[in-house]
Amino acid sequence: MVVNNKVETLAFDLEAGHGPGAKAVADSGARQQQQRQAAPAGMVQVELHKVSAPEQRTTARALGQRLAEIFFPDDPLHQFKNQSLARKLVLALQYFFPIFHWGSNYSLRLLRSDAVAGLTIASLAIPQGISYAKLANLPPIIGLYSSFVPPLIYALLGSSRDLAVGPVSIASLVMGSMLREAVAPEQQPILYLQLAFTATFFAGVFQASLGFLRLGFIVDFLSKATLTGFMGGAAVIVSLQQLKGLLGIVHFTTHMGFVDVMASVVRRHSEWQWQTIVMGVAFLAILLGTRQISARNPRLFWVSAAAPLTSVIASTVISYLCRGHGISIIGDLPRGVNPPSMNMLVFSGSYVALAVKTGIMTGILSLTEGIAVGRTFASINNYNVDGNKEMMAIGVMNMAGSCASCYVTTGSFSRSAVNYSAGCRTAVSNIVMASAVLVTLLFLMPLFHYTPNVILSAIIITAVAGLIDVRGAAKLWKVDKLDFCACVSAFLGVLLVSVQVGLSIAVGISLFKILLQVTRPNTVVMGLVPGTQSYRSMAQYREAVRVPPFLVVGVESAIYFANSTYLVERIMRYLREEEERAAKANLCGVRCIVLDMSAVTAIDTSGLDALAEMKRVLDKRGIDLVLANPVGSVTERMYNSVVGDTFGSDRIFFSVAEAVAAAPYKAQP
């Protein structure tokens, strides 16, 4: 782009700067430039653009900017700029308690919408709360407690308008399976309960500190692909567990693995109970059917939303009428609001480590779900959710919950969707829901006495069925096979080994993929795209042509300790292959390697050493090594280190085209 010449001529006839058509251009404008004799004799001057380095900054300033980029990329305080002190105080209050933000504009019209939505999700939350508590091996009442206090706290602190807060299936399942490994809930119910509350407390502490330290990006490490696999596997495991309730089996395995559960189901076929099976299958069909109706016609969302509570009522009536026929029922539930549970938190003894581990696991899983749900609906409704602030809200909610007989809660996918469909406008719908749960806790508990356990199993299966995302997995297969492998591995890990193993596989694969990306970055041989002065990957642009005796290599990654050795070896291999090609075709060999650094986003000391080393080796073989278009941070580092001296500014070019044009030998495309 520098040589002022007809573009076509330049591109195809790449003796740019040497051929008869080329001439030097005195450039207009105030830009910095560098004039350099391209070849010793008989050549005209090529005008080259200087490669700038970014402005010099002091160490403290550079570090400060770097840290600000890491921890405050979204500049959360920008609204505080240029405001009066009083206004800043109001803004701060609104920042920490979003309720003050939307509360001042709250109206009766909004309340009507929120009340409808709140009652709708309450009708879901009550049966689901009871069911999910059972999934975590906890007394059913804990599920209702957890649907009362946390939503109230979230309404104060949370910034999502659509989140419906309460217990969720995945976190319940993981907590249940992790705690059961150490403590049998049937034999030591008090200890188990203590551990559950303690784990909830640590989950809250973990979540709040992630938010406070602005480390929210840790949640992003669970890639969507592995999450799809993990959730699918967990959903299957949860559904299999429900076979106990659906078939009316009394003595069921406490293991979670696919093989154990199926073996147990077959071995205990003498315990199968036809009454329970009939009732279970019937209600499961109804629940799944209503889900289908709502899925096909979103305006009928209330059909599937009302189905669980209706089923509970209907089945309770049936169960009451048929009492004495052996259908297992929930039994007595205590009446009254959440008792305090501060005294049940244990911070010493051999089980603390388990509680911490369980807390972190369930904490990160519930955070992943809550943040994802919040972001999804925020984006649909076009408002912003600050991930780090949400984490603090969810964390505080769980810490408070653990002191009020609640276990881990977060924003639920399914109930938030219903909340949204039912027309919620603000977090007041959570307050309405909590009030409905309060009424239930105070007055309606005896009504659940005859509720059959089988209906809870049916509700759980219906809820988790939505987590099996076959279409998502198919899309992964189409777009990215490695992602698909990760998804399947996580799925099989959960299904065949254990939930923890599945989760570890998911995280492990996600990390391995990152590391692989880092250690084995892409490199491409580039050629000139005809009709342009741009060099592009020859694998991508098949019309691109080589320009011997130049070998143009593009490196598509930061160069640093984890890949510098690899990159040097890879470039040397390109060189070897190119020379073999040239020898076969009886052409002259490579005289100059041009490294296109456009995509080299950073370089560290190992990377600089590797470049210097490569230059030394190539020098011995009489081959030039020049760099094209290094980005700001790389340029800065090059000029700051000895490598800059090794290369010298006359080996660093604005673009590949200028590097080729400036060389003292002719390109032969």
Name which of residues 366 to 405 contact a copy of itself (CB under 8 A). 375, 379, 382, 387
Kindly report the three-state secondary structure assignment for every residue of 529-560: CCCCCCEEECCCCCCCECCCCEEEEEEECCEC
Binding status of residue 224 toward a copy of itself by CB under 8 A? yes
Contact assessment for residue 499 and residue 516, using Cβ atoms and an 8 Å cutoff = no
Tell me how far, at minimum, the Cβ of 11 lies from a copy of itself, in Å. 8
231 binds a copy of itself (CB under 8 A): no
Identify the residue among 435, 541, 579, 651 touching a copy of itself (CB under 8 A).
541
Contact residue for a copy of itself among 33, 113, 328, 646 (CB under 8 A): 33
Judge residue 561's burial from the number of C-beta atoms within 10 Å of its C-beta, 0-12 exposed, 13-18 middle, 19 or more buried: middle
Minimum CB separation from a copy of itself for residue 587, in Å? 20
Please report whether residue 517 would count as binding a copy of itself according to CB under 8 A.
yes
| Residue among 497, 401, 434 nearest 199 (CA) | 401
Residues 263, 605, 619, 650: which binds a copy of itself (CB under 8 A)?
A: 605
Provide the minimum distance between the beta carbon of 637 and a copy of itself in the complex, in angstroms, as a whole number: 6
The CA distance from 599 to 69, in Å, is 20
In degrees, to the nearest 5, what angle opens at C-alpha 614 toward C-alphas 609 and 615?
100
Q: How many residues interact with a copy of itself (rule CB under 8 A)?
A: 112
CB 130 within 8 A of CB 143: yes
What is the x/- site pattern for a copy of itself, positions 56-75, by CB under 8 A?
---x--xx--x--xx--xxx
Q: How far is the CB of 529 from a copy of itself (least distance, A)?
A: 7
Our finding on whether 480 is near a copy of itself (CB under 8 A) is yes
Beta strand residue intervals within 261-340, DSSP E: none
DSSP assignment of 548-614: TTEEEEEEES-B-TTTHHHHHHHHHHHHHHHHHHHHHTT-----EEEEE-TT---B-HHHHHHHHHH
List % helix, strand, coil for the chain (3-state, nearest 5). Answer: 60, 5, 30
Listed ranges 149-157, 185-193, 233-241, 550-558: which one lies at the site for a copy of itself (CB under 8 A): 550-558
Quote the least distance from Cβ 551 to a copy of itself, whole Å: 17
Please identify, using beta-carbon distances, which residue of 220 and 332 lies nearer to a copy of itself.
220
3-state SS, 44-111, equals CCEEEECCCCCCCCCHHHHHHHHHHHHHCCCCCCHHHCCCCHHHHHHHHHHHHCCHHHHHCCCCHHHH
Residues within window 88-147 making contact with a copy of itself, judged by CB under 8 A: none
Does 44 engage in binding with a copy of itself (CB under 8 A)?
Answer: no
User: Burial level of 587, CB count in 10 A (0-12/13-18/19+)?
Assistant: middle
CB of 82 to a copy of itself, least distance (A): 11
For 112, 446, 487, 630, the CA distances from 274, given in Å and listed in that order, are 45, 27, 37, 74
Q: Give yes or no for residue 516 binding a copy of itself (CB under 8 A).
A: yes
User: Is residue 479 close enough to count as binding a copy of itself by CB under 8 A?
Assistant: yes
- 24: contact with a copy of itself by CB under 8 A: no
Is residue 625 near a copy of itself by the rule CB under 8 A?
Answer: no
79 touches a copy of itself (CB under 8 A): no
Neighbours of 479 (CB within 10 A): 10
Q: Which amino acid is at 377?
A: F
Interface with a copy of itself (CB under 8 A), residue from 521, 527, 548, 549:
521
Q: Does 29 bind a copy of itself (CB under 8 A)?
A: yes
Between 53 and 346, name the residue whose CB sits nearer to a copy of itself. 53
Taking CB under 8 A as the criterion, the residue among 128, 557, 590, 593 binding a copy of itself is: 557
User: Which of 138, 135, 140 lies closest to 440, judged by CA?
Assistant: 140
Smaller CB distance to a copy of itself: residue 31 or 109?
Answer: 31
**297 binds a copy of itself per the rule CB under 8 A:** no
Least distance from a copy of itself to the Cβ atom of residue 366, Å? 18
Is 328 or 532 the residue whose CB approaches a copy of itself more closely?
Answer: 532
